[in-house]
Homo-oligomer: A and B are copies of this chain.
Amino acid sequence: MTDPEKMIAAVHAYIDAFDKGNPDAVVALFAPDGKVEDPVGGPVQHGHDAIRAFYAANMETGAKLKLEGPIRVTGDHAAFPFSVTLHYQGKDQRIDVIDTFRFDEAGKVVEMRAYFGPTNMHGF
């Protein structure tokens, strides 16, 4: 089982990498065959190349992430609430999101799922 402190550190590294607009630093947190389902119910990005392209496109909005509460950790999973703020298409926008990460034994993310939808999007 992955060390809880390592999972918590990975979440912080994820947020930092996103804020710095560094898709390679995000990709480095994922296992080679990792999956990203963002939002849950949407298309799944599978593998480093698809994940890198997905984050690179998202980062072009200039969005910033902010933790909005403690990172929950159980077994090989972490879950955390955060907000996304961006100034896009001339408007200040905010999205409230919860992400879940599942980790492998090497401490890499094998599955990320993002929970948010139209009721969580403000200012669009």
Contact = CB atoms under 8 A, between A and B. Distances in A.
B70 A96 contact: yes
Number of identical protomers = 2
Given A69-B96, A96-B69, A74 B4 contact: no
A73 interface: yes
A110 interface: no
B8 A74 contact: no
A100 B79 CA distance: 10
Interface string A31-72: 000000001111000000000000000000000000011111
Which of A40, A74, A75, A96 has the largest number of chain B CB atoms within 10 A?
Answer: A74
B119 A77 contact: no
A115 B74 contact: yes
Contacts of A104: none
Interface string A96-116: 111010000000000000111
Contacts of A70: 96, 120
Nearest to A70: B96
12 contacts: A4-B119, A5-B119, A41-B77, A68-B69, A72-B116, A72-B120, A75-B117, A78-B115, A79-B79, A79-B100, A81-B81, A100-B100
